[in-house]
């Protein structure tokens, strides 16, 4: 009889542990949900306060191997594409200033090492034209192009001997 008694007693502590874990999990879930709702409200308040001092832009970097979108990126009014590129690449941009502005040689290392097969590859920037639903090549150097609210811009490491194929956003 002692063996039967010991076997039934194991279920009580196990059930108690299960109830405690369930209560803690539910409490944590409620806490994190309320925290996320609070932070979302603060985010919306802040974006309303920033209205008129920042623009929202969509930014693409395509190095031929990776295509990375940074959608709804907030940038200060007056920023150029070059400012945004430096910021998004954490300063890892190889460039030279010339008579016509900044010439980007590499973004995050892509474009630094050119072999025979990549001699005609360069970084080009593009602006999406929503009226025509097409990409337009940048009209100036990136440090002369001032971003506007809602702009969609792209850097592509492209073979300049061919017209680049950039998919629509």
**What's the pLDDT at 44?**
87
Distances (CA, A) of 97 to 82, 103, 105, 162: 11, 6, 11, 26
Reduced to 3 states (helix: H, G, I; strand: E, B; else coil), residue 90 is coil
Q: In 3D, which of 99, 56, 58, 60 has the Cα closest to residue 74?
A: 56
Q: Can you give the pLDDT at residue 7?
A: 52
Residues 6+ apart with CB under 8 A from 60: 67, 68, 69, 70, 152, 153, 154, 155, 156, 169
CA distance 24 to 154: 47
Q: Which residues of the chain have pLDDT under 50?
A: 1
Q: Does domain 54-159 have CATH number 3.30.930.10?
A: no
Domain ranges of the chain: 2-50, 54-159
Tell me the pLDDT tens digit for each residue of 124-137. Answer: 999 999 999 999 99
Q: What is the DSSP string of 130-149?
A: TTTTEEEE-SS-TTT-B--T
pLDDT score recorded for residue 111: 85
What local confidence, expressed as pLDDT, does residue 162 receive? 76
- Please give the torsion angle defined by the CA atoms of residues 33, 36, 38 and 42, in that order, rounded to the nearest 10 degrees: -170
pLDDT of residue 1: 47
| pLDDT given for residue 49 in this prediction | 80
Q: How many Cα atoms are found within 13 Å in the side-chain-facing hemisphere of 20?
A: 6
Q: What's the CA gap between 169 and 95, in Å, rounded?
A: 27
SS3 64: coil
Strand stretches in 28-120, DSSP E:
54-62, 67-76, 93-98, 101-107
């Amino acid at each position: 009889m002692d063996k039967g008694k010991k076997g039934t007693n194991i279920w009580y502590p196990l059930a108690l542990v299960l109830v405690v874990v369930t209560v803690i999990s539910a409490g944590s879930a409620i806490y994190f949900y309320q925290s996320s709702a609070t932070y979302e409200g603060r985010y919306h308040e802040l974006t309303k306060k920033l209205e008129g001092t920042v623009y929202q832009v969509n930014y693409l970097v395509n190095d031929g191997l990776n295509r990375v979108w940074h959608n709804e990126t907030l940038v200060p009014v007056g920023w150029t594409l070059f400012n945004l590129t430096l910021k998004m690449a954490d300063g890892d941009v190889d460039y030279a200033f010339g008579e016509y502005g900044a010439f980007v040689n590499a973004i995050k290392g892509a474009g630094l090492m050119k072999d025979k097969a990549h001699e005609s590859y360069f970084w080009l920037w593009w602006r999406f034209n929503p009226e025509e639903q097409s990409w337009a090549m940048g009209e100036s150097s990136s440090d002369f192009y001032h971003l506007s609210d809602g702009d969609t811009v792209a850097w592509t490491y492209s073979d300049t001997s061919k017209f680049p194929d950039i998919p629509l956003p």
